[in-house]
Amino acid sequence: MRWSKLFIPTLREVPAEAEVASHRLLLRAGYVRQLSAGIYSYLYLAQRSLNKIQAIVREEMDAIGAQEMYLPALNPAEVWQESGRWDVMGDNMFRLKDRWQRDYCLGMTHEEVMTAIARGELRSYKQLPQIWYQIQTKFRDEPRPKSGLLRVRQFIMKDSYSFDVDQAGLDVSYQKHYDAYCRIFTRCGLKFAIVEAHSGSMGGSQSHEFMVASDAGEDIIVLGEQSGYAANLEKAVSKPVPPAVPDPEGDLAPEEFHTPGKKSIDDVSAFDGMPATSHIKSLVLMADGKPVLALLRGDHQLSETKFSSAVGCGEFRPAHPAEIQDLMGAEAGSLGPVGVTKMRVIADLALQGRKNMVAGANKDDYHLKNVTPGEDFTCEFADLRQVAAGDTDVNTGEPLQLVKSLEAGHIFKLGYKYSDTMGLRVTDEHGKELTPIMGSYGIGIERILCASIELYHDADGIMMPAAIAPFTVVITPVNSNDAAQKAMAEKLYEEAKAAGLDALLDDRDERPGVKFKDADLVGIPFRVTVGKKLSEGLLEFNIRRTKEKKDIAVDDAIAAVKSALASS
RNA sequence: CGGGGCGUGGCUCAGCCUGGCUAGAGCGCCUGGUUCGGGACCAGGAGGUCGGAGGUUCGAAUCCUCUCGCCCCGACCA
């Protein structure tokens, strides 16, 4: 391609609305333009990059025997009502009506449609396993689109779905995806971690996320270097730091003491001289409308995902002050488990075996000391605590790392949720009805693009891996008035194309500084500069990523690019 | 949905508090010339219903009310 003919609207100045690096650079380098909140147009450069990413995804999916399909983005309400997700998805789903006032939605994902196809057509166990996939636009009415292309309302997703006769078959399909995903992210040049994940409202048993470390990410992952432990914070477990002081000995009875105006754990702790680790934090939560008292060690945080799975509830929220007063007879600052009978009491595992701790007295401005779980109050125990910095690995005892990351891929063992509710049945080898077991596997295509920019950029611009960069090499004649340079650049460009390289000729009538700056900003991995040393038969070869530059003979140029590409 | 911020040529912003000539700057764009190895210089030029509606006023980019949009923090996030 000839740069002079292309639409690559680079910006010298940083657009005001861009915060994260990938967003800023995608705008500045002329890859994308925003149309509305969370809705972007992908211009020529972005489209080239995304095409390369999709080609890699396609190759690797095809390699595991997955079959690509193209499915409707516009879905009738019926299929979503059958699976029950018409209601579950709430405001996150774009909904619309046709001229007859029938309900439709824009697909957020395609379990329903895929299952609908499967149940109409799959008849026999002999047709299984199947892996079907699509690379298509998904729509989600995000409450808060942000960070450029990282959280948007319309985006491209590769999603695949597996149908197997049994759990063992699902395990195989799952593993195939796991391996394919590793190859995909590796080929796209990303450094990534694979973590155990919470399966969320997708249901299902097992789930892994493919995460790229980045401050622009929205998740935190927990990593143990030696143990290889890797989990999303939502689900991670750890050994907490031990209590700062041992519990008082003896079978002591709870004893009330006055704590005027002391509301938070920190307040009470400073007042009674006992560390936060000796206090019990009491939280009243309304889970599906019913009150639950959650207990944690004073220095610990409640994990919302762990709480809702422990309680088995859908939605929950902190109780309102009036509700707390009504249920507990005291304000939020003086709550405790002793004497609570009207609701479920669930204590975090870190409280198991502790004794003589401090808790609220359920009487304003009073606390109790010598409170012992199991003795002074009864409760269930469950893992409720969010892993915190300083925690150690359950097995090896090594310190765990908490790393901010962005999710680029996610694989789920769905189980029977959709096949069951939507009535997908085939005949088994004995002629009886069999419900196939499903898996679902997603990759955010734009997230690969963003992640690679987040990972690889500098003050000058993008340094994307060559495998997914919009062009591989740019040929830059320094002086467009120099006939010899111009001719040589043209020649090199033709040779590069003939050699199968994705080449760009910067034939613009611009000063060299502009061309160099643009090439760096856009992130073209290699540059061949045709300049004043041409008279000596030399060109300059630059590598964007390493800033390496060297003179090469005219005849070696194409080979140099190819070898640099091969080793990139 | 709660909190905060911002809407002025294509981009970045000034002007607004304290209302007053014809609304400015830099970058970008167009024309001509000089230049040509890291976002050149000179000269000339085009381009703005100041997000929108209503109000106050002799007079509104500026003050008031409403509204729309965008960004950030939080909540949310198969």
| Per-residue model confidence as pLDDT tens digits over A288-308 | 888 899 999 999 999 888 888
Helix (DSSP H) and strand (DSSP E) numbers for chain A: 14, 31
Q: Does domain A471-566 have CATH number 3.30.70.20?
A: no
Residue A133 pLDDT > 90, yes or no? yes
CATH code 3.90.960.10 region(s) in chain A: 255-382
Helix axes A483-498, A557-566, angle to 10 degrees: 50
Q: Which nucleotide is nearest to A143 (CA to C1')?
A: B76
Helix axes A445-455, A21-28, angle to 10 degrees: 100
| pLDDT digits 0-9 by tens, A72-123 | 999 999 999 999 999 889 889 999 999 999 999 999 999 999 999 999 899 9
| pLDDT digits 0-9 by tens, A415-465 | 999 999 999 999 999 999 999 999 999 999 999 999 999 999 999 999 999
Backbone angles phi, psi at A57, to 5 degrees: -60, -45
CB neighbourhood size of A359 (10 A): 26
Mean pLDDT of A495-503: 97
Largest CA distance in chain A: 97
Q: Which pLDDT value is given to residue A11? A: 94
Q: In this predicted complex, what is the ipTM?
A: 0.94
Distance B54 C1' – A148 CA (angstroms)? 35
Mean pLDDT of A324-351: 91
Q: First-to-last CA distance in chain A?
A: 22
CA–CA gap between residue A279 and residue A281 (Å, rounded)? 6
Structure-derived torsion over alpha carbons of residues A480, A483, A484, A487, reported in degrees to the nearest 10 = 80
Residues 346-375 of A with CB under 7 A from strand B: none
Q: Is A186 helix (H, G, I), strand (E, B) or coil?
A: helix
Q: Which pLDDT value is given to residue A332? A: 84
Residue A201 pLDDT > 60, yes or no? no
| Nucleotides on strand B lying under 7 Å from protein C-beta | 1-2, 6, 11-13, 26-28, 35-40, 69-78
User: Which CATH fold topology does A255-382 show?
Assistant: YbaK protein (3.90.960)
Distance B39 C1' – A478 CA (angstroms)? 14
Count the residues in chain A.
Answer: 568
Distance B24 C1' – A35 CA (angstroms)? 29
Q: Which nucleotide is nearest to A520 (CA to C1')?
A: B38
Residue A203 pLDDT > 70, yes or no? no
Q: Give Cα separations from A443 to A58, A137, A158, A406, A449 (angstroms).
A: 11, 12, 5, 12, 12
Task: List the structure tokens of A517.
Answer: 């700056």
For chain A, what percentages of helix, strand and coil (3-state, to nearest 5) are there?
Answer: 30, 30, 40
CA–CA gap between residue A77 and residue A93 (Å, rounded)? 11
Distance B63 C1' – A16 CA (angstroms)? 28
Distance B30 C1' – A355 CA (angstroms)? 82
Cβ of A551 near strand B (under 7 Å)? The reply is no
CB neighbourhood size of A289 (10 A): 9
| pLDDT digits 0-9 by tens, A363-378 | 999 999 999 999 999 9
| pLDDT digits 0-9 by tens, A219-248 | 999 999 999 999 999 889 999 999 999 999
Cβ of A535 near strand B (under 7 Å)? The reply is no
Percent of chain A residues past pLDDT 70, beyond the cut: 99
- DSSP 8-state symbol, A166: S
CA–CA gap between residue A35 and residue A25 (Å, rounded)? 17
CATH code 3.30.930.10 region(s) in chain A: 3-71+119-236+403-453
CA–CA gap between residue A483 and residue A496 (Å, rounded)? 20
Q: Is A391 helix (H, G, I), strand (E, B) or coil?
A: coil
Q: What is the CATH number of domain A3-71+119-236+403-453?
A: 3.30.930.10
Sign of the Cα pseudo-torsion (A301, A305, A306, A311, in order): positive
